[in-house]
Structure 1
Amino acid sequence: MKNKILAILFTVAVIQTSCKKFEEFQTDPNKSTVATPDLLLNTIAQSAFQSSNVDVALVSRQMVFTDAVRQTQYYGWTRGSYNAYNSLRQVLKLEQAAIAQNKAEYLPLAKFFKAWYFLQLTQMFGDIPYSQALKGDDNIATPVYDKQEDIYLNILDELKQAGEMITTGTTAVKGDIVYNGNMQQWKKAINSLSLRVLISLSLKESDARFQIKKRFADIVNNAAEYPVLTGNADNVQLKFYDLQGNRYPYFNNNDFQTAFYMEETFVDLLKGLKDSRLFSFADKAPKFSALPSTDFNAYGGAKGSAAVNENNARTVAGEVSKINPRFYNNPVNEPSIALGYSELQFILAEGVVQGWIAGSVNDYYQSGIRASMSFYNIAPDVINTYLGQPAVQLSQTPLNQIITQKYIASFMNSDWQPFYEQRRTGIPAFDVSGSGVLNNKRIPKRWMYPESELRLNQANVTEAITRQYTAGDEINQLMWLIKP
């Protein structure tokens, strides 16, 4: 009888189990099935703010690669990537999760990251999908291309709205690896990004739609409403840790140890200015290893424009410095600055030069240099000596020195900013004199659209190319942003 009862109970249990839906067996009850804003924010920030990019150092004549022809170094690139749209999809999920879970404090950050990524995309290509982008759920698979000027105007408006959404009573966000939830810090970052966007529009100052001078002055002259970065502690930067997946991106990189060297014009610039940041950027050249590490004569570079075999011969001769070993030996190394206080000070210095704001060009300029050199733990007395040099002090044409110092401060951080600044101002002059340069010795102005767009969204991308570029989808064409 006992066995019969057990058999009946077993049968009932089996029947009840079989009535469960298959999906229920696929769900781990110990794991969340809903994306939370904090987890999304962590992932987005890690992707957005990793701004240490060796290809930028090659393009910007700060480093050279000696093992083969690298297209970025020799200006022979063609098509760019739309990978930033994958990151924008994560930002969209952040926004949706914040709304669904009634966590409004994440919404200004969603606006910030939308502006961040769309800015990257339009700077690379020109016109891009914007108003209809990320609308797959609305059955828009082939989005139209918005004009670059409209995208810039929307980015500025979005950033302004994002800053206004953050008040003293805004709840701290979680999952914040940049500012540990401090929303006032994020407000500084938002307004500082607005100033970067505005200075990038310097060639469009006369376009009344943007009110560039007014927007710039409104931020600078009203610190209570529009706070900005006030020191290196405010830097928008990604810190690294000696943990799997969190280490400096070039830690243990074999090419960094064997094939990447310093570029000659960059080394000569630093040597000419007696700039001790060189000692933090580079290692001594083997030929001069007996000299002290603080002797500028111990460092040398190879020309980024020279052919590979020429540079190889110089490295074999021991004339060329490698990058400082800390970049590949130290898993933590230094934070990757995506938008820093130093850059902001140079932006403000240029703002005075442009006549957009009042103030001392020299004060902003020197503050930018101090911030950069302090980041590398250079002693205050050394900084003072550096600033006292006639070659460093501002001349009657200060823009060249402002942009040059911004360029120096960007070494292995700031992502593509040094290239975009050079594209806008022509400062510094990237060397194209060597026999290795492709593209008829021209520095490209943009990237061609991804091939996938020509297959999947041909009508819209073709229309965008036709209205923008007389010579078609080509890397030397001028986008609206940099047309005089």
Structure 2
Amino acid sequence: MDTFKKIIRVTLVGLTLMALSCDNDLVDTNLNPNGVNLSEANPSFLLTTVMSGITQDVGNKGFAEPLSAYMQYTQKDAWGNNNYDWEGGGWETYYDNLRTANLAYQRAEEMNLKFHQAVAMILKAHLFALLTDYYGDIPYSQALQGNDGVSLPQYDSQETVYKGVISDLEIASQLLSNNQGSLEVFIPEQDIYFHGDSKKWIKYANSLALRYYMRLSAKDPSYAGAGVQKTLAKPLIASVDDELAVPYLGISSNDSQPGNGKQGSPSSFTRIKPCNTLIEAMNALDDPRRNIWFAPVEVPIKVVPANEVPGGGDDVVVDGVRYINEATIDPGSESIYDPLTWYQDRVDGLTLIDTSSVYVGLPVSVMVQEPYTYNLNPQPVQGGGNVHVSLLNEQFNAVSGPNLKSRIFSYAEVCFLKAEAALKGWGTDAEGNYNKGIQASLDTWGIGDQYSDYIDNSEVAYDGTLTQVMEQKWIANFTSASEAYMDWRRTGLPDIQTGPYAKSSVIPVRFVYPSNERDNNGANYNAALSGLEATDHTDDVAGYVEDDTPWSKTWLLQGVSEPW
């Protein structure tokens, strides 16, 4: 594993650049996929480019973009979006990567490279799945036929895309399985995911299929149930060593930990705060991951009787603690933060004072403006910091590090998927898989030795409910907010709500199509809009085109009860 990590660190960016340049020894094969001589492009380097692109996108959406705020892992107190009106993004990048993956597949087919064909199929399936996850109906069957004269592709239904993706994953897995012992070499330095290990690619393809069968579990339970049972009998990601988590290199902003303050402005890091929703959930469980993910608040606040304020006065900082005379608190304008009352207190216009002694987070959508004044910030300047609200752990301020990875598919996710499937009657041993999921999450953050104490907590010990399984999966998906978002969207769990100053009273359920699709592929775009279902919240925010808003429902959510 150490060797694999070292190779990834060296190659993730280097090979991407190599795929877009020429070298004296590779002049005939290592060509720019967007240039001429596509018929001579090297499929290995093309696939490395696609892997790098997926790594960057999943990492950013998992940590830095507003999905982390949507899922209430973090909130930004400056230059952020905590109010749930983000339109989403990534369409063009996904299709750019798909074109490269498709060229890699064509070249591998021409060269009879079955390993490379299968990898290209898996990457294409993953990219199409991400597109339909976020947007709904998308160009799929005609999407990569530009060379065949299809410049304005039709949109396929979301159902067609999901089921096509699953089929391709199964075909790719079978292609690798059927050719074990005769597969060509995939050079480890070029395969930045699995170091040329075809068996790990098989496990990854099967695990992706399991993820997408479960994605359909509420919408099409008969199809999903049969598929899950079939897939559980296949090789899946079975350990932390099998999981797909690519370490950041720290060479440039594109391959570094998102939101670090070492590249560009230091406030890139300091404006990211933990969300109180996550902190409160972890506090209730005495979760040891708090210490790994968050920093103790620099200056806690204590509201005390006048005779307990050191040295007298009404508002003083002594030995790193801010003491406030409780007699000076005006109940008409101020309130001590309480998880049960804070929402209504903010609706009533009260200023919140959080007296938590260790970790202080930002409540979700707590202000109309950016919340850099929160918790009596003594220096309320945009981007200026706040000593009364916790930061993330300092490790996230680095460009790279042992825990800093783009977590594309974790072993913990497989375990929780298997636990959920068992609860639905599609598998076995829900409790065992739930426990393994927790152990896997602790292991991946380097605190596996604390599992025994944690699982003995009465609130953590398995209780047989989907609510508990999904809460633990949500916690484990910290830095993987995109997958947490998909889980919440199909299950409504955990039961999180927008804050008092959100743009809508419900969390958005899709991304908005890019404007260039409306402008350049208008007929097919308009046809795709008919696949969206307007809701009571579709028009919560003005300025969108017809039903193409974050609050319209795609096929996946039509006729089901969750998330709202």
- TM-score of the two chains, using structure 1 as the length reference: 0.86
Supply the distance in 1 between the matched residues of 2:499 and 2:399 (Cα, whole angstroms): 35
| Amino acid in structure 1 at the alignment position of 2:472 | Q
Q: CA deviation at 1:472?
A: 1.9
User: Which residue of structure 2 aligns with residue 181 of structure 1?
Assistant: 196
1:192 counterpart residue number: 207
> What are the superposed Cα offsets for residues 398-419 of structure 1, whole Å, 9 maximum, x if unpaired?
111111111111111x351111
Q: Please tell me whether residue 218 in structure 1 is matched to residue 227 in structure 2.
A: no
User: Does residue 477 in structure 1 map to residue 552 in structure 2?
Assistant: yes
Distance of 1:364 and 1:86 partners within structure 2: 37
Task: Please show how residues 283-362 of structure 1 align to structure 2 within 5 Å.
Answer: 283-288=295-300, 297-307=357-367, 308=369, 310-314=371-375, 316=377, 318-333=387-402, 334-357=404-427, 359-362=428-431
1:366-389 CA distances to partner (integer Å, 9 max, x unpaired)?
A: 100000011111142x21111011
Structure 1 residue 87, shift from structure 2 partner: 0.9
Q: For residue 234 of structure 1, give the secondary structure of its aligned residue in structure 2.
A: coil
Letter in 2 for 1:49: T
In structure 1, the partner of 2:99 is 89
Give distance in 2, aligned partners of 1:379 and 1:214.
Answer: 34
Equivalent residue number for residue 87 of structure 2: 78
Task: Report the identity percentage.
Answer: 26
Determine the C-alpha separation between the residues in 2 that align with 1:96 and 1:233: 31
Q: Which has the larger radius of gyration?
A: 1
Distance 1:189 1:75 in 2: 32
In structure 2, the partner of 1:22 is none
Paired position in structure 2 for 1:136? 146
Kept in 2: contact 1:285–1:298 (CA 8 A): yes
Question: Is 1:395 paired with 2:457?
Answer: no
**Residue in 2 that maps onto 1:416:** 482
| 1:25-80 CA distance string (max 9 Å, x none) | xx986633432122112211111123333222111111111114x34x21112364
2:522, 2:225 → 1: CA distance?
38
Q: Which runs of 5+ in 2 are unaligned?
A: 1-21, 32-39, 301-318, 322-355, 379-386, 535-545
Unaligned runs of 5+ in 1: 1-26
**2-side partners of 1:454 and 1:433: how far apart?**
32
TM-score (ref. length: structure 2): 0.74
Aligned counterpart in structure 2 of residue 46 of structure 1, from 41, 44, 52 = 52
Q: Distance in 2 between matches of 1:388 and 1:482?
A: 37
Q: What amino acid maps onto 1:410 in structure 2?
A: N
Q: Give the letter aligned to residue 85 of structure 2.
A: G
SS of residue paired to 1:427:
coil
1:245-256 correspondence to structure 2 within 5 Å:
246-251=255-260, 252-253=262-263, 254-256=266-268
Deviations 1:417-449 (A, max 9, x none): 111111111111223232x211x3221111221
The structural deviation recorded for 1:104 is: 2.0
Aligned position for 1:270: 282
Alignment counterpart, residue 240 of structure 1, candidates 241, 248, 265? 248
Kindly indicate whether residue 105 of structure 2 is the aligned counterpart of residue 105 of structure 1.
no
Which residue type is aligned with residue 62 of structure 1? Answer: Y
Q: What letter matches 2:445 in structure 1?
A: Y
